[in-house]
Amino acid sequence: ADVESTGPNWHASRGYWRKQLEQFFPDPTVERAATVANIGVGAAVHSAEAQVGDFAELEALGFSKSDVEDVYPATTSQQGLLFHDAFERDQGIYVHQVRVRLRGDVQPSAMRAAWQMAVTRHDALRSVFVWTGSGGALAAVVANAQLPFFEHDGRGRGEHYDDWLEQWCAADVAQGFDPRTAPLMRVHLVKRPDGAHDLIWTNHHAILDGWSAARLLAEVLEDHGHASRGRSLRTEPGPRFASYA
């Protein structure tokens, strides 16, 4: 797969990302890329002692207890990311963007279903963050989150397609995320003039690190293969994020 990552803080990590994803996607076709292992998100996140916070504080901040599955103090790293992001949100410093060029049988409805199932299964992808009166941040896992998934047709861009996509992706990164609204990620599927597709996955570093993101992408592409063949998607919940936080 042809993979690129954008964002000022990712230029130095480009080699790492390429190495990680080439391990899973040595062949540029969707069918070959989907033969990867299923490893849940969260196995490589921070190992601080897990805690479950008080829902009362979230309710005081406008959240309904019925809409929240879990709550725990945000990790030190997450709080640092959120603090700096609040002052430089339009810079996209902690927004990661991965571009994967997909060739072969790409079915948008199956891709949408695979991504949504990932959000449903992994509570880390449904996490939001709020600052409390004491100055710390809480991470809350909302019960339901609809993934923003968009389809675009770039075939009419012709020879200007790559320049257009570069500018469009930069604008998407600059858009950033509201840390109180889940999920802190969105996906775009773009038809290319050459018949292939560009998958654009934009997410906030507060919910995913590079290792977990590579694993999640592998899982989603595998599920896309299942869905496009009419097979059932995996539905078992992934590891609870608070167990690793």
Cis peptide before 148 (omega within 30 of 0): no
Mean pLDDT of 118-126: 95
Output 54 or 78, whichever has higher pLDDT. Answer: 78
Mean pLDDT of 138-144: 90
Residue-wise pLDDT tens digits, 56-107:
777 766 777 778 888 888 888 888 888 877 766 666 678 999 999 999 999 9
> The tokens of 234 are what?
């995996």
Quick one: pLDDT at residue 16?
39
* Statement: the pTM of the whole predicted model exceeds 0.85: no
> Which pLDDT band holds residue 52 (cuts at 50, 70, 90)?
very low
Neighbours of 160 (CB within 10 A): 11
Output 236 or 9, whichever has higher pLDDT. Answer: 236
Q: Which SS3 state, helix, strand or coil, does residue 39 take?
A: coil
Q: Is the pLDDT of residue 167 over 60?
A: yes
Mean pLDDT of 42-46: 28
Query: How much is the mean pLDDT over the chain?
Result: 77
Burial class (CB in 10 A: 0-12, 13-18, 19+), 156: exposed
Rg of the chain in Å (alpha carbons): 18
Quick one: pLDDT at residue 245?
57
Strand partners, 128: 140
Neighbours of 185 (CB within 10 A): 23
Quick one: pLDDT at residue 233?
86
Q: Is the pLDDT of residue 42 over 90?
A: no
Q: Is the pLDDT of residue 119 over 80?
A: yes
Q: Which SS3 state, helix, strand or coil, does residue 184 take?
A: coil
